[in-house]
Structure 1
Amino acid sequence: MKTKSLYFIRHCKAGGQESNAPLTKDGEQSAKDLVPLLEKLQIDYIISSPFKRAVQTIEPFAHQAGLKIHIDEALSERILSKEPMDDWLVQLKKTFEDIDLTFPSGESSREALDRILNVVNEVSGINSVKNVGIVSHGNIMSLLINHFDSTFGFDEWSRMKNPDIFLLEGSNISRVEIEKILSN
């Protein structure tokens, strides 16, 4: 029996960080460009963050494949703080080093990781699907990747792309080389 494959898809380029920020024109084109790749991956179930940029990233594929987009609040981007932080990058880096560090009205890395791990556990239990597309955001995805690969930290997060795809099979996680697959 084939192992269930979970494809974590970071949204395409967006025009902001707000939950209702749409994709840019380049982001919209990237979402269309992802369709043949996602077809090759034979994704048969989609679950997405409710953020507009995440949903817009997967809509072209979902439409083409005739698949429903399941929305899960637990895939929303991690809230570092609800108060403005001029040095947010410095503070974010600290949360990779101390997973229990929290800022005003924010959530720790551990809390955000627990959210996305719950989604992983839920979709892993759906027996009728084999290849799941999970659309989310860079910070929360990086916490999940770090859970399976401790060498993936702040610097690796900073090099993530929009879009980016990581494959989780069993307890092994790896980056999907989008350009390589699309060129085959």
Structure 2
Amino acid sequence: MTNIYFVRHAQPDHTCTDAALRPLTEEGQRDTAEVVRAMKDIHIDYAISSPYKRSYDTIKSTADAHGLDIDTDHRLHERMSGKNSNNPEMFRRRWADLSFCESDGECLQSVMDRNIAAVNDILDAHRDENIMVGTHGTALSTILHYYDNSFGADDFMRIIDFMPYIIRLSFEGRELVEKEEILIVEKEFKGGKNH
């Protein structure tokens, strides 16, 4: 069995407008200790992350504690959002039609396709290992939707305030056989451009 521990990043600092470089807030930095605590008794064979700073930094201390370097995969980055795209009306509109996006944004189908391609490559290369993946709220939600298409807007809205958040997905080959929430740290989503 292959276990992937998806770690949604801790609280980001939305005063930084560059999505790729957006750091964690001081509180978010402190909350990375919760990830270390949640993962301390779990053997981890491999760590990989979105290249975005907030995701990488959320799992860095945990990877260090396990003696692991972190690979990055551009396909794991967050949805490219357009202007005024993070509000409940737009969330529901995107989840009702995965091909919909604002004119300067990315649709959920595109996010899901590239994230699942990355996950499949991870599963193929690291069979029967425990893997930690640094991810994002929307990216992770599309992954969860891929394996359970009942996952939609309400589920996304449930986890939007979980920063950091860890969910374990267990696979036989590429088939999902089990999932379990490992860590929930509730923080208010501030409505920035990307999460």
TM-score scaled to structure 1, two decimals?
A: 0.86
Q: Distance in 1 between matches of 2:60 and 2:128?
A: 19
Alignment partner, residue 119 of structure 1 = 118
Q: Deviations over 1:54-92 (max 9, x none)?
A: 1110111111111011011111111132xx226743122
Q: Is residue 2:6 matched to residue 1:11?
A: no
Letter in 2 for 1:42: H
Matched, 1:75 2:73: no
Cα distance in 2 for partners of 1:173, 1:159 equals: 20
Cα-to-partner distance string for 1:120-167 (whole Å, 9 max, x where unaligned): 111111147600111110011111111112232112212210011122
Percent sequence identity is 27
Match of 2:188 in 1: none
Structure 1 segment 87-106 matched on structure 2, within 5 A: 88-106=87-105
Root mean square deviation of aligned Cα: 1.9
Write the distance in 2 (CA, Å) between the matches of 1:95 and 1:66. Answer: 39
Aligned length: 175
> Whose strand proportion is higher, 1 or 2?
2
Equivalent residue for 1:136?
Answer: 135
Which residue number corresponds to residue 145 of structure 2? 146
For residue 110 of structure 2, give the secondary structure of its aligned residue in structure 1.
helix
Shift of 1:21: 1.5
> Please, which runs of 5 or more residues in structure 1 have no aligned partner?
180-184
Give the partner amino acid of 2:61. Answer: P
Listed as ranges, the matches of 1:33-112 within 5 Å are: 33-81=34-82, 84-85=83-84, 88-112=87-111
Q: Would you identify which runs of 4 or more consecutive aligned residues in structure 1 move more than 6 Å?
A: none
Q: Is the 8 A contact 1:14 1:22 kept in 2?
A: yes
SS at match of 2:115: helix
The one-letter code matched in structure 1 to 2:135 is S
Cα displacement (A) at 1:106: 1.9
Cα 1:66/1:137, change in 2 over 3 Å: same
The farther-off stretch of 111-120 and 142-151 is: 142-151
Of Structure 1 and Structure 2, the greater helix share is in 1
**CA 1:115–1:37: 2 relative to 1, 3 Å:** same
- The answer to whether the 8 Å contact 2:49/2:73 transfers is yes
